[in-house]
Amino acid sequence: MLTLRDVAAKAGVSASTVSLVLNGLDEGRIRPALSAHVRQVADELGYVPDLMARGLRTRRTHTIGLLSDQVASAPFASSMLGGAERVAQSESFLLLLIDTDGDAGQERVAVRSLVQRNVDALVYAAAWHRAVDLPVVPDRIPLIVLDGLPSDPGSRADWVVPDERGGAEGAVRHLIDAGHRRIAYCGVAEDVPAAHQRFQGYLDALHAAGLPFDERLVVAASDSTTAAARPVAAELLGRTDRPTAVFCFGDQLAFGFYQVAQRLGIGIPDALSVVGFDNQHYVADALDPGLTTVQLPHRAMGEWAARRAIERIDGDTADPTHHRQTCELVERGSVGPPADVTVISGARTARS
C-alpha cells in the first residue's frame, strides 16, 4: 500500500512536509512552489490518504450519513440531495447516502450501518414535509432532519422545512395585487403540515388585504392528483358566481383546473387566474400558459442541512435550530386581472 513516506521519498522532502501539504496546513509554512511539487508527486503516484487511520487520530471520519426516505426516487425532491452534496464536498466531507424507500426494516439496518462506519453526523431526509419518527443514534452523532420535523417536540435534532405558510400568503397576495377579490382555494383532504400551513397562508393574505373569508370558495380534493382535482374544479367553475382566481395546494391540482377550464371554455388567464404550489418540472413549466406557482426550496434546504451538520461536527452545542426556508413565487403566464378590472400601477379601475 502506498504510504505518505513513499510520497516523501519520491518528492525528496520529509514526511512531515508531505503531511502538512496534503492536509492543507502548508500555507505560510512551506514555499508555494514546493507545495505544488509535493501535490504533483502525490497525484502521479496515485496517493490516497488513509481516512481510517486519520479518523483514529482526529476522532473524525469526515463523512456525513444521509438517510433518505424515498427522496432519491422523487424527481421534485431529489435536488435536496444535490444541495447537501454540494456543501459537503465544498467542506471536504463525503456524503454517504442510503435510500430506504420507506421500508422501516431497511431503515434500522441502514442506521446501524452508518453508525458502525462512524459517520460524524446523520441527516434524515423526508420525501415531503411531515412529522417523522427519528431513529435512535448515539448522542455523539449530531442529527439533522431535512424537509421534516421530529414527531417528538423534545428531540435534540435540528430541522429545516419549507415556509409553506409564507409561500402561500405570497401566492394569494400576488392574485390580490392583480385585482382579484373572489379568490378560491383548492386544498386536499389530507392531514399533513403542508395542507394546514398553505390554507393558513391563504387566510393570512385575505386578512391582510381586508377581504372577507368565504367558506363557499374553499374546496378540497381527495388527494393531490390531477384526477382528484377535476370534479371539484368542475363544481367550482360551473357556478354562476364562480371565482375569478384560484390558488391550488399543488401544481397537479392546478393542472386539473386547466383541464376543466378548457372544457368549459374559460380562458386562462383572461377569465380565470390560477396559481399553484411546488413548481414541479414538466407540469408548471409545461402548461400553456405556464403556471405561476411557488417554488419549494429543496436545494436550499439540502444546503442548510449539510451546513448545520458540519457546524455541529465543529462543536456547536447550541439548542436545536428550527429553520423555515423561504418559498419564492415563480411568475409565468397564468395570472391576469379579473375580467371586469384593469390594474394600472397598483390602482384598480373598472372596465367599460
Distance CA 206, CA 73 (A): 37
Exposed, middle or buried: residue 139 (CB in 10 Å: 0-12, 13-18, 19+)? exposed
Mean pLDDT of 200-210: 98
Residue 347: pLDDT band with limits 50, 70, 90: very low
Give pTM, 2 decimals: 0.80
Backbone angles phi, psi at 126, to 5 degrees: -95, 150
Residue 344: pLDDT band with limits 50, 70, 90: very low
DSSP sequence for 103-129: -HHHHHHHHHHHHHTT-SEEEEEEEEE
Distance CA 59, CA 74 (A): 35
As a whole number, the mean pLDDT across the chain is: 88
Mean pLDDT of 218-243: 96
Distant-in-sequence, close-in-space partners of 72: CB < 8 Å, separation ≥ 6: 78, 81, 97, 99
Distance CA 329, CA 279 (A): 9
Domains of the chain, earliest start first: 4-49 (1.10.260), 61-156+299-324 (3.40.50.2300), 165-292+331-350 (3.40.50.2300)
Residue 56: pLDDT band with limits 50, 70, 90: very low
Residue 320: pLDDT band with limits 50, 70, 90: very high
Q: Alpha carbon 132 to chain centroid distance? A: 16
Query: Locate cell 448522542: which residue?
Result: 139
Q: SS3 of 258, please?
A: helix
Model confidence pLDDT, tens digit, residues 57-108: 546 678 999 988 877 666 667 788 889 999 999 888 999 988 887 777 888 8
Model confidence pLDDT, tens digit, residues 23-54: 777 888 889 899 899 889 888 888 766 555 55
